[in-house]
Structure 1
Amino acid sequence: MKKVIIALSIFAVCATTESKASKCYTSHQDNTNRNGTCNEIDERRPNDDDYVLFCTNPGSKVCKFSDGTLPKVVDANFSNIQQTVTDQIANGVLQGSADFSDGTYTWDGIDVNNLTFSIFSDAK
């Protein structure tokens, strides 16, 4: 039930966030660890502008979108954004948003192993 609620809230974030960006890329990490994840599911939402990555359970895989999913500029910033979000949550900033060169990102988490962040960008 928790995963269904979280999945619905991720979709709601992308669908309702006011942004000039046309695409939303969301990474949801549930029960992962600093070494990586065990399972990852990469999917595209029906409206074609929302991409969601689910990473669950500890493991050694890097939590990232499949090659070719992210525009180059977003892909180039993905690891830095992911690290910034993890650092912010580790420092007690459990929710927030920030800009990067080609868009905006938001995050929400309860700890560094359970977090969600969304990247909004119209980069091609």
Structure 2
Amino acid sequence: MTSASDIVLSIVNDILNVARLEAQKVTLINRTFDLLELFEDTIEKFGKRAGAKNIELIVNCEVDMLPRYVKGDPERLKQVLSHLLSNAVKFTDKGKIVLTISMQLQEVIDEDKDNQTYGQIVKKGRLLIEIYDTGIG
């Protein structure tokens, strides 16, 4: 019952998000959150689904290379990661799913005037999430 209600809630949220996108009413939140916790929770959820289908979910991630806390929109990141993993699990009947997470760091001059580090060199990065699966897609 709980699983079915989670699925229905997810579908309703997806429909609402599409409507917001089409109306250009998507608001991104920029806050600090625990990146590793977000990954762990999301991957665990889909790891169980993959296991139920006897599909191997392999995660390639150098945890030491990722920052623990980042600034961004955790709900959108979780949504994107969930959609990628959901499609991989849904369309893979045998074999494996490989999730690779990496961070490409670079030093830049902080141009956020509201930030205490304005004008200083700070490390910023790009998060790279790659999914490979043996499914039909």
Q: Which has the higher contact order (CA 8 A, sep 6+)?
A: 1
Report which of the two has the higher share of helix. Answer: 2
Alignment TM-score, normalising by the size of structure 2 = 0.26
Alignment TM-score, normalising by the size of structure 1 = 0.28
Report which of the two has the higher share of strand. Answer: 1
